[in-house]
A and B are shown apart, each in its own frame.
Chain A
């Protein structure tokens, strides 16, 4: 489809710091297609995190539009936004932010529980997801009993649990050593490949950036550079990408994710270079 998954149109964000206006984003235009893996880089204060928050609808822009599949979410009510986040987005934070009172399976089920889906429907899928991220043996462990890499994998599984189209990750490996980071990175690519989930990753990690097919560099509240590359490591990630078919439109409720076909027919992959 020609409609991009997300498009930001002239997005501005102004914060008031002690009544002094601070323009963090000064007109950002960005389009992300389904199935893409986008890396956002840039120096501190460039507005990467703000961009991510806006994309995640955790914050609203001062000016401009954020369109998800053509629908402007800035006009949503808080409740609609909550529901939208629940169904369409997944978050992975630098600090895993798992809930310490719940074990891995329960943490993965959490978005579904928020929606009010019965446990018995969520549980098999949560287990499958955890196995997919390589934690089949750690299902009953609480976050405190897991290593940093394992925690981040659980967080990833949690982000995936409602079959979101877009996963927003803020420094997902910022807190891990390089070996663990690599493992998590390849997991991201693997998921992108098998599920066609779109990733937008904010990172300082050059290694990760080097592997990403598209790198958006930000500076001073604007997009400075938007590079697309055909990288050997990323090729497979793009070739194998299975974007969710347009038929699974926004109206499709994701209340019963277990019923969703895991490996649906892979339609023609979006041309990565189609967008300007």
Chain B
């Protein structure tokens, strides 16, 4: 009896029987077979042996725990005086469960191990499986997913079965297990904080698992800490005031199961809605941040220009602009609309003539270049003699600008069977199968989809051709830098020749005719903004002036400021400093006000919509507390008889709502932070064809989190007003009347 189980009570008997007799063996069997099958398939796919091993080990550990538990429970059952038959049944159940628990994982482990090992001897089977994988890539993936889910589910069931028997362990043993777990977690948390990076550094994607591990361990630690701390914290809170004492007790009370359940449910509701709201706001903030960064990177922070047309005498103005405090750099530009035509296509574009030295400082153009160099604008003659590796183009498949991982030409030409790391393609969904089809149709041995595309081959062949081919167009032409999308549309390569066609033509023999000038592609940039990548082409200031016939005049001055948020003020200052009434300075906020306005509106709408979720959580709190008041009306009456005033009673329920709100909000904020953090670092991949960004941008704003938390707590407090008032109206006489 010391272990605290009253065997005579039937409360434990049913779950115990269920646990021992059915759940454990069943779930173990399912876990084991799922693990075995998963390991079989993983092994067949290759290089997943450790994973299968770990799965096996996990199953083994769970099995071992179950075995220990089974033996213990069996012993316990045998020790209880409950009649010979009952005892016998229990012993049979215990022994049976233990045996099953011990044997099944061993058996399944053996199976899984055999399956893993089979790949070494049975390559034929592997080959077959590869065929299957090739034919049905998505279905196999789905299958793996289902298997993984099944494994997780069954492991969960097994664990919960173990947990349901957990209370049967003696207190000391339970405490020891918790201690071991806690100390382990603490050490692990300390270790990951000390050793592992907090975020994935630029260009080191291989560190992602380390960051994930750190995040996971820290999260587990925090959750455990919260669970451990919640009782002492509530106990501490109890000392705060009488109302808090009763409220805290009501919340942790196990006496009335239903109330405890709905209390936790309302805490959960608050937490989930808070987490949802913060996550969505973070993503919206991320989009805004992304947009801001892209705009700031591509466009000048402040632009000084005339309402219409160009202006002359800009050198002194430029000097004044540069001397204005807050201005970091400034450069002149000429802007005009042109048609750009290549051999294959034609497109409209905005040509920007820039001073290359100033452009380096004013915009991020240099960093955005994925191919070519900015120098080539100033020295177009070097374009005639390009090293071959610079003559790469944009593939129809979007490759992120990451030259390190792009397949080199050699790799493209001979890498038929090598299952090396896949190039980082981001492919529109559903293209994989067709590609494989093309690969097979062209008779090329393409084992893995996405390895190689006809266009890449085109590229290679073309590169070879042009290297060997005769010099056809070796004339020195002014350079032009085009956006990635335009390059794709026009099928441009660095070094290619394109024509600018201006509608403002020149007089030919037969009247006005469009003016056309050849340029040579000096570089390709990727800004991340479709509009820019499709529309803007950069040339030197002089070239633009010549082509657009502006003479010495410029369209405006691009300004970079030191504090982007103060750009409007600096713009005002600039206008005063320049002292030319026809020139206006406009900051990026004003130039893009519609865009940001729309974003802000969208965010507001989101806040309102999801705020309703918090409101619903508030209703949940309302319901919980109303029920609580009803259930506790006698208690309220007794407190009244003991001399608790109305204020005391109101305080109790107010505190209860406050506690629910605080716990829910804290949990929700933590969860929201985890979700946002996860989304930021382990990225939700987006289809760039649709969104033009490769993954979900996330920006965690502490102020926003705080506000959402406050809102949640406030809603909960508001929701308590009515129940608390109801409670304070309870008259002891009515509440205590004989039942």
Contacts and interface: CB of A to CB of B under 8 A. Distances in A.
A2 to B, nearest CB: 28
B643 A111 contact: yes
- Give the contact-size bracket for chain B: 20 to 34
B255 interface: yes
Given A82-B643, A95-B739, A100-B255, A114 B249 contact: no
Given A101-B249, A144-B255, A110 B733 contact: no
Contact of B645 (A78, A113, A119): A78
Given A58-B733, A116-B242, A111 B250 contact: no
A230 interface: no
Given A58-B732, A119-B239, A94 B738 contact: yes
Contacts of A97: 634-635, 637-638, 736
Given A58-B733, A94-B738, A101 B250 contact: yes
Contacts of B637: 97
A56 interface: yes
Contacts of B642: 85-86, 91, 110-111, 114, 158
A183 B704 CA distance: 64
Contacts of A114: 242, 639, 642-644, 648
Nearest to B739: A95
Interface string B722-737: 0000000001110011
Contacts of A78: 645-646
B412 to A, nearest CB: 72
Interface residues of A, number: 31
B171 to A, nearest CB: 15
Interface in A41-98: 49, 53, 56, 58-59, 78-79, 82-87, 91, 93-95, 97
Contacts of A93: 638, 736
B733 A113 contact: no
B64 interface: no
Most A CB contacts (10 A, CB to CB) among B634, B639, B731, B737 go to B639
Contact of A85 (B253, B641, B738): B641
B635 A99 contact: yes
A112 to B, nearest CB: 9
Nearest to A115: B643
Given A58-B732, A113-B242, A101 B640 contact: no
A163 to B, nearest CB: 13
B245 interface: yes
Interface string A117-146: 001000000000000000000000000100
Contacts of B733: 53, 58-59
Interface in A18-60: 49, 53, 56, 58-59
Given A82-B645, A100-B253, A100-B255, A113 B638 contact: no
A102 B249 CA distance: 8
Contacts of B635: 97, 99
Nearest to B646: A78
A53 B245 CA distance: 28
Interface of A: 49, 53, 56, 58-59, 78-79, 82-87, 91, 93-95, 97, 99-102, 110-111, 113-116, 119, 144, 158
| A-B pairs with lowest CB-CB distance, top 6 | A86-B643, A101-B249, A82-B645, A101-B253, A85-B643, A100-B255
Given A99-B635, A119-B239, 7 more contacts: A49-B738, A53-B733, A56-B641, A82-B640, A93-B736, A99-B638, A116-B241
Interface of B: 239, 241-242, 245-246, 249-250, 252-253, 255-256, 634-635, 637-646, 648, 731-733, 736-739
12 contacts: A58-B640, A58-B736, A83-B643, A85-B642, A94-B738, A97-B634, A97-B637, A100-B255, A101-B249, A101-B250, A101-B252, A110-B642
